Amino acid sequence: MAPEAITAHKLRERIGSGEVSAEEATRIVLDRIEAVDGRVKAFLTVTPEAALAQARAIDAARRRGQKLGPLAGVPVAVKDNFCTEGVRTTCGSRILENFVPPYSGTAVRRLAEAGAVIVGKTNMDEFAMGSSNENSAFFPAHNPWDLERVPGGSSGGSAAAVIAGETVVAYGSDTGGSVRQPASFCGVVGLKPTYGLISRFGLVAFASSLDQIGPLTLDVTDAALALQAVAGHDPLDSTSARHDPPDYLDGIDRGVKGLRIGVPREYFGAGTEPAVEAAVRKAIDILTGLGATAEECSLPNTDHALSAYYIIAPAEASANLARYDGVRYGLRAAGAEDLTDMYAKTRAQGFGAEVKRRIMLGTYALSSGYYDAYYLKAQKVRTLVRRDFERAFAKYDVLAAPTSPTVAFKLGERAENPLAMYLADVCTIPVNLAGLPGLSIPCGDDRGLPIGLQLIGKPLDEATLFRAAFAHEQATGFKPKLAPAGKGERT
């Protein structure tokens, strides 16, 4: 049986009052990792000694009467593309298998300042390229509700760790849905904030104009708390928004009376499973029953978003991943005859099939004679997608849609069909292209497999998303629970 679920805000209160120590909470999580991660495979690196040292420091500060941070003593995991000083950061790739960063990224530093106890680095699709976590160079993560199914990707390890009780809060990165889609598949809350709200300094880049860090949690209050801990301007990130984040917990319980909800018809197209559509529409009905209004709307360029994304993201990946050449850090292939041969062998041995596919797609799209036909045209489509949202938000406060058109699929089911895999993100990609905030919350299940409702907001209006999500959570009597994480050992 899974242990009782505990949220970050409740644990923080208990640690602050002395009812439980940070060290005790950390040991419970580390014991849970020991018990189930052989099956779930949510972690690539676990750091028990460092975590216990952090926890003891929090306990000592509490005993001295010092003011504690908002996540003081709360066990947290971060995706393995977050640079962590002195701790291996692989990005799920052989090319960085032994890379130990000499610095921590801004989000990691802010977590430390908030008092979070980082217990380890979570599994991911290689360089965040994937929708199932099967592209990890080391081993796939498993969905704790059904170990034969994927947890989603690319932040699958983070989502699986939260719902399996292997951490209380986790962070991932979302380039085309990589926080929200795993949140939907695993039945947790996952937020992709407005582009620039959380610093990307120290986040290993996949597609720089799309990547954004986001939290995965058991409930909406925790998501607001987790965002608060890391949001805000950072001069080390040239794309960081000059925005002072509000208190996301202030007014979260105001309700949704008068809230205008748009329901884009394009998000319920072919391929949407009937159970998913039914659960999402029921969730929208719950919100209207609480005083919101909802009506169908159209985002006509949605059908072109997937194609535009798979030009723009690979093009940026091609440029960003050019640095992995065996010269400065990471893998260097042995036996090369000259520099060019070393480049070729290093990249051939270090990168997996999906990363190579996207590098080739991106390089082709940027090559002489094809730039205007592919990359430039994709950027124009991106502008059309953004304008669709701008028109919608002139009328609505929030848009509501499925997070994913399906529930979690089986491991290996789409491995030989890249297009089918890419379609897993059809509902999430437009949000990244437009730089908007998107929040996935659990809204039902199909045969025990979670279904996610996606709420999409105006730029820098995460507070409204939290308010709508919290109202739904309270109206349904939602109580966080952990997945059983299966039986027996997996390899």
Could you give the CA distance from residue 95 to residue 354 in angstroms, rounded to a whole number? 14
| 182 closest CA partner among 421, 408, 461, 25 | 408
> For residue 92, what are the contacts with CB-CB under 8 A and spacing of at least 6?
44, 80, 81, 123, 124, 125, 126, 127, 128, 135, 136, 137, 138, 154
Point out the catalytic residue in the list 154, 184, 318, 440: 154
Please count the CA atoms within 13 angstroms of the CA of 322 that sit on its side-chain side: 9
Instruction: Provide the edge-to-edge strand list for the sheet that holds 75-79.
Output: 43-46, 117-122, 75-79, 169-173, 213-217, 189-192, 438-446, 449-457, 398-402, 260-264, 293-297
**Known catalytic membership, residue 238:** no
> How many Å apart are CA 4 and CA 22, to the nearest integer?
17
**Residue 154: cis peptide before it, omega within 30 degrees of 0:** yes
Q: Where does 83-179 have alpha helices with state H? A: 106-113, 156-163
Residue 395 annotated among the catalytic residues of the structure: no
Among residues 287, 334, 283, which one has the least CA distance to residue 442? 283
Which of the residues 21, 41, 79, 458 is marked catalytic?
79
Spatial contact of 195 and 457, defined as CB atoms under 8 Å apart: no
Helix axes 462-475, 274-289, angle to 10 degrees: 90
Per this entry, what is the length of the chain? 491
Instruction: Spot the catalytic one: 178, 199, 318, 404.
Output: 178
Q: Which residues of 440-455 are buried (b: 16+ CB within 10 A; e: fewer)?
A: bbbbbebeebbbbbbb
Q: Is there a catalytic annotation at residue 79?
A: yes
Q: Is 270 exposed, middle or buried (0-12, 13-18, 19+ CB in 10 A)?
A: exposed
Rounded to 5 degrees, what are φ and ψ at 34? -60, -35
Q: What is the C-alpha separation between 107 and 175, in angstroms, rounded?
A: 17
* Positions marked active-site: 79, 154, 178
